[in-house]
């Protein structure tokens, strides 16, 4: 037992020294491993940084190559699109030329169905044939008065000319429903030139370069009365408003031009409105004077602006009446279409054009009426503003205004006296 205790005491006494020695060695090994790991970390960091710089250089090179390839791809795509577009344009142009060729072929074939023109050579030959005067043959045409006239017809291309047997009547003719009619009569000089061409086989003649289209337009020209007659019943109230507005505008313009200029220091005689305000300011005083001046201004305003409302009503009502006439005409047109069908487009378009006459007339009446109302209203407002300013001045001190008027009158009489003395 004693030996055991001794051994235990010895172990307990030596254990702290052993633990201390182990800790020191472990600490030294840990420090060594940390230094080694730090050195390895720094080495790996340098290696990674070096590899990263190399990879960045490669990435920049690849990006530059990618940009270059993108630009080249865009140029190639654009060139390809331009080639495709050029091909499409050429195809469209070729298709247009083919359509023009087909049109000319049909047009030439329509000139002579039995002997159609199919080539340039045939066209030249046909022109030469038309240039000869073997296309003159006798014909009977209808005149404008319904009488029939016999003579000769000269055909030069699409133009047809006529001269009677007495050589006293001639001109351009066209065919309407299997009947030749005189479209445009020649005057004496043109008729003489046409006769010379028939006799001498050459010369100058007058013909319609539009293939009688201008002649048709001239035949369908209408007068103002005929144009207004197409508008129907609604033209009457529109014209009535137009006449009323015109009369009132003329009378009102003359009355506004005669209005005298208003000025406190003017040596000209006062107008009747200015005299009325001045008389009230001299006769009455204080509040009663102001009320009477206001009442006089209201009466003057009614007199000055009298008739402007009628012009304004005309400017407003005329387009509405025109629209009403158009609606009525359209209703009538569609009613006829319901009864007889819409196969004839010319008849339908003619009815619509006639129904629009009232709208045109309404706008023609309304626009000048609106302008006249604006100008006259501005003149009335300007005059009333001056009259109100004069009323304010005479309301504040009518004696000052009277003195100014007397001074102006005396100065005028003095000037007249001096001029008379000098004379």
Q: What is the DSSP string of 360-386?
A: HHHHHHHHHHHHHHHHHHHHHHHHHHH
The CA distance from 357 to 326, in Å, is 7
pLDDT in the model for residue 419: 33
The CA distance from 359 to 227, in Å, is 13
In the block, which residue shows the tokens 């206001």? 294
Cα dihedral sign, 217-223-224-226: negative
**E strand or H helix that includes residue 181:** strand 179-185
Q: What is the mean pLDDT of each run of 10 residues along the chain (423 residues)?
A: 63 57 75 86 89 89 90 85 74 80 66 62 63 68 82 79 83 79 81 81 73 68 79 88 93 86 60 74 73 83 87 93 89 78 64 82 94 92 84 69 52 39 34
pLDDT in the model for residue 414: 42
Cross-strand partners of 179: 176
Q: Are 145 and 129 in contact (CB under 8 A)?
A: no
The CA distance from 219 to 237, in Å, is 30
pLDDT in the model for residue 374: 93
The CA distance from 417 to 196, in Å, is 87
Q: Are 361 and 235 in contact (CB under 8 A)?
A: yes
The CA distance from 358 to 232, in Å, is 8
Cα dihedral sign, 345-346-351-352: positive
Beta-carbon contacts of 247 under 8 Å, excluding residues fewer than 6 positions away, are none
């Amino acid at each position: 037992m004693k030996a055991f205790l001794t051994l235990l005491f010895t172990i307990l006494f030596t254990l702290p020294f052993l633990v201390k020695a182990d800790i020191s060695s472990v600490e030294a090994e840990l420090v060594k491993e940390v230094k080694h790991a730090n050195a390895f970390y720094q080495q790996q960091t340098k290696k990674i940084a070096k590899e990263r710089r190399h990879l960045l250089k490669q990435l920049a090179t690849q990006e530059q190559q990618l940009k270059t390839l993108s630009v080249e791809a865009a140029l190639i795509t654009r060139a390809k699109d331009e080639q495709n577009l050029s091909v499409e344009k050429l195809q469209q142009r070729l298709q247009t030329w083919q359509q023009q060729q087909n049109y000319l072929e049909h047009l030439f074939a329509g000139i002579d169905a039995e002997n159609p023109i199919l080539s340039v050579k045939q066209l030249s030959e046909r022109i030469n044939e038309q240039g000869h005067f073997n296309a003159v043959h006798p014909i009977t045409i209808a005149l404008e008065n319904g009488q029939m006239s016999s003579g000769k017809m000269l055909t030069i291309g699409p133009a047809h000319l006529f001269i009677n047997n007495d050589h006293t009547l001639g001109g351009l003719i066209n065919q309407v429903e299997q009947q030749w009619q005189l479209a445009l009569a020649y005057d004496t000089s043109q008729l003489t030139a046409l006769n010379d061409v028939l006799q001498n086989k050459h010369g100058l003649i007058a013909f319609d370069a539009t293939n009688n289209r201008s002649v048709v337009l001239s035949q369908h020209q209408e007068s103002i009365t005929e144009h207004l007659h197409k508008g129907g019943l609604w033209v009457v109230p529109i014209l009535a408003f137009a006449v009323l507005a015109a009369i009132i505008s003329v009378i009102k313009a003359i009355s506004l031009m005669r209005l005298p200029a208003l000025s406190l220091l003017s040596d000209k005689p006062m107008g009747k409105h200015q005299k009325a305000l001045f008389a009230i300011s001299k006769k009455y005083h204080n509040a009663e004077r102001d009320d009477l001046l206001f009442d006089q201004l209201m009466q003057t305003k009614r007199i000055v602006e009298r008739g402007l409302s009628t012009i304004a009503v005309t400017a407003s009502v005329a387009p509405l009446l025109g629209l009403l006439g158009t609606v009525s005409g359209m209703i009538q047109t569609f009613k006829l279409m319901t009864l007889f069908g819409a196969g004839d487009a010319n008849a339908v378009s003619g009815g619509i054009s006639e129904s629009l006459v009232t709208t045109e007339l309404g706008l023609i009446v309304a626009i000048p009426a609106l302008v006249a109302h604006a100008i006259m209203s501005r003149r009335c407002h300007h005059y009333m503003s001056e009259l109100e300013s004069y009323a304010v001045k005479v309301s504040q001190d009518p004696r000052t205004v009277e003195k100014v008027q007397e001074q102006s009158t005396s100065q005028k009489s003095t000037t007249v006296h001096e001029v008379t003395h000098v004379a």
